[in-house]
Structure 1
Amino acid sequence: MFPELPAIPHPLQFKSVSFTALKPGPKLIVLGAVHGNEVSGTRAILRMIREFERGDRLLLAGQVTFVPVTNPLAYNRQQRNGDRNLNRNLTPTTTPADFEDHVANWLCPLLAQHEVLLDIHSFQKGDQPFALFGPADNGGPLQPFRHARAERDLALRLGVSRFVDGWLETYANGVANRVAYIKAHGLSGQGLNTDPRYGMGTTECMRASGGYAVTLECGQHDDPQGPAVAYTAIENTLVHLGLIAGQVPQPVRDYQHLTLVEVIDKRHADDQFCRSWSSFDRISKGELIGLRQNGEEVRAPRDGFIVFPNTTSQAGQEWFYVAKEETEPL
């Protein structure tokens, strides 16, 4: 049902596939393999491209662009990153220093040509797929935005029942804490991410271009159901936006909404979790999360959930996030 993963030869190049209807309409872009070992979205995208090419699907309005493999270097290496994490500091540059800078110089203008982004990922450990969306409408300096309703309407129709927001604001607060720690301990900060703009990824880039974006985390990396989850999300998005015919997806009514509120950095390569945490494990205030290399205990700052625990994070980067549960309806 789902195509096999393609081989990408060297030298590396970028590929996107677009379909444009006779009638005007929304312009959607769908990304896979922003991280090279997250390929469920790639397989779902390849299946959808095949269906359009065979005539099984017809674009009624607007445009859709598919990018099966966004980071070919990381994809070829079968690992999360190429030279670095593409989903950080995603901005064009006239002085590219690594492969991901070249990706940004190609990808950011491509995103700016569209209005809606569906970015498909998977995760290392967790219990169910979920979607991330952005801020409420605001005119603030960090991430001004005016499409919150449309973004949430899309997220609620992807076929998942867990939603997370609060990413960039929490990351920026984490940067401020990181800078304060560096100053307090007389560190140089070299190699540490001390610029809030480093939190800019695909969705932030899309919003900065005037559009809106949702990230789908379609399951664990090796989950055999991951491609099906991704495929359903792509199909629902196309129908919801009026790009193809189909049964209009209804918003999910029973769901969990979490907001990221704090990020804890790894300070030393030998900082260790005290157990094998998975995203969305419940935590209680004061519960032991891990131990620093110097023996200092790291405990939960509040009741809530641990999100994105990363055993392979480097010193000076995010180790885990803490989220709170929201009770107000989206």
Structure 2
Amino acid sequence: MHLHDVWFIAIAVLWIGYFFLEGFDFGVGVLTKFLARDERERRVMINTIGPVWDGNEVWLITAGGATFAAFPEWYATLFSGFYLPLLLILVALILRAVAFDYRGKGKTPRWRDAWDRCIFWGSLVPAILWGVAFANIVRGVKLNADHDYVGSFLDLLNPYALLGGLVTLVLFTYHGAVFTALKTDGEIRARANRFSIALGVAALVLAGGFLLWTLVQRPDAWAIGTAVVAAVCLAASVLVSLRLREGWAFLLSGLAIVFAVGTLFLALYPYVMPSTLTEASSLTVENASSTPKTLGIMTWVAAIFLPIVLLYQGWTYWVFRKRIHVDHIPDAEPEAKAAAAS
């Protein structure tokens, strides 16, 4: 195994970690419009991800940086060809980050509602577009002999990619529902458990169809195995949700995401971006990678600092492991009425 193969695996692991962790962030953000009945319940939901959402996004930054350093050709083609959807994702993530901080700065319901909409759309848009982007990477796009994307934005909105976007939206929302049930108590916990059943069944049907379509296009023995494991984990997650075992449901939904994303990378290898025009125009782990010296330096840096980052993030989750109840949230209505009166 060459270093460019090692770094393809490393980047796959970074994306898997990002979707596992940021997936429930997106799901909680989307569900704030459906699960929360009032301001206190909405604050409960936001507080479940408040201490960890920014740490989860470190996985995205690291994945992007690792791609730039290890596979500069891949990075250049991806970020130029997918410029518009990636820009929309970036804008949505920025709005969501600002909303988490600014929604509590004002005292009026109108102020909070505006930022709550930013949280909702800032979670929903990336949850869809990440699926669209990765589906197009696996399916292949129009690359010329210089590895430049020569298609249009509408070419990216093909049926396979749109199904991929729907799958990630529903799967992340289900992941967020079981996380909400795991981290809350009282009525909102019961409501999240009820939502999770319907979302889990929908995710199982959609993800199963999408993975089957993927394997028909790019058959691979290992990918078939991980796809089966992903389906089993997702089905088991729905079953234990029925028994109100939130911890197991969350773990299994996370494993379903892990194996589903792993299936995409296994189906993609050894390509990093296939061309639908000619085979010679495709980018592979070999022709898109940096020099062996660069990859060697990156390997030493990752071996030193990655365990530190993992230990710190694990400690953060341990510190904020307790459930949150509406009784932990002060009533904001008196302040809102006073502000409106003034």
TM-score interval, normalised by the smaller of the two chains: under 0.3
Normalising by structure 2, report the TM-score: 0.26
TM-score, length basis structure 1: 0.27
Higher relative contact order (CA 8 A, sep 6+): 2
Higher Cα Rg, which structure: 2
| Higher normalized helix content (fraction of residues) | 2
